Amino acid sequence: MNPYQRKFLSLVIVAGLVLMPTSCSDTIDTNEDNALIDDTSEIINSTEIDELDSVLADLVIDTYETYETNDAGRISQPPSLPECVTVQLTTQQNYRELVIDFGNEGCLVRDHLLRGQIVVTYTRDPEAQELLINYVLINFFFNAKGIEANRTILRERSNENGNPMFTHNLDVTVTWPNGMQASRTGTKIREWIEGAGSGLFSDNVYEVTGNWTTTFVNGNTHTYEVIEPLRREVVCIYFVSGSFEVQRTNFGGVFDFGDGGCDNNATFTFNNGQEIPITLN
């Protein structure tokens, strides 16, 4: 379980205590109790979608950048991909197609077992300020979850701040092995605010903004909106600052990562004003 999932599990435990019905009777309302259990399960499922969103975006962008910044005749495997992954490039005038193939048996990438293919297409224009990258998933599985997606990433060479920026379309449908299914729509924007073009990895810093909604087959929806940009320094495994608003089926509030220190401390403030500490480890 990654730190982002553990973060929400900590929140779930506390939220469950807050939302659990109380009575002078020893009998608990079964319907309300079952509703809480369902919501807890959906929180865990939603954080799993967060993780696959991040991994898919990283794989597509890393592969695209590798093939665009190297001579097409002397391209090596993107450093972010293990040897069990193959990449096939097809070119036709300015049209490019990259097939990232994880095989039928799957390949372990960043501690996740991936199967199937990601097909990336775009029209190459080295001078363009904006470039639309399309990608579709073919028979794709992420840790045994079936993933269906036909998505886009708008790459901006330089935004109004002079930084590279990537705007991600998040449309995706996920099916778990037990039959649970959920769809996500929305937008996530990643601005590369430090380290771009330095040739180093350790000095890279990003700010993430956006909003998205996850809808389950039972009609429950979970919405997120970043209210203070989430700052990611690659030398730290956690967001070091920023906050987002969460509205779920049974409760809502604001999750805050703190004031910039690389630590595992955060807070969640419920809509009623109650604040609780969250430990991310």
Dihedrals phi, psi of 272, to nearest 5 degrees: -85, 5
CB 186 within 8 A of CB 202: no
List pLDDT tens digits, range 81-134. 889 999 999 998 889 999 999 999 999 987 789 999 999 999 988 889 999 999
CB 97 within 8 A of CB 90: yes
Q: Is the pTM of this model over 0.75?
A: yes
List pLDDT tens digits, range 139-178. 999 999 999 999 999 999 999 999 999 999 999 999 999 9
Between 70-74, 157-161, 201-205, 241-245, the lowest mean confidence (pLDDT) is in 70-74
Q: What is the DSSP string of 248-261?
A: -SS-EEEEEEEES-
CB 61 within 8 A of CB 166: yes
**What's the chain's average pLDDT?**
81
Domain definitions of the chain by residue range: 31-72+83-236
CA distance 232 to 250: 29
Dihedrals phi, psi of 143, to nearest 5 degrees: 50, 50
**Tokens, residue 201:** 């990895």
| Closest to 135 (Cα-Cα) out of 115, 157, 114, 150 | 150
| Closest to 122 (Cα-Cα) out of 174, 191, 63 | 63
DSSP H or E stretch at residue 54: helix 30-68
CB 81 within 8 A of CB 109: yes
DSSP code at position 199? S
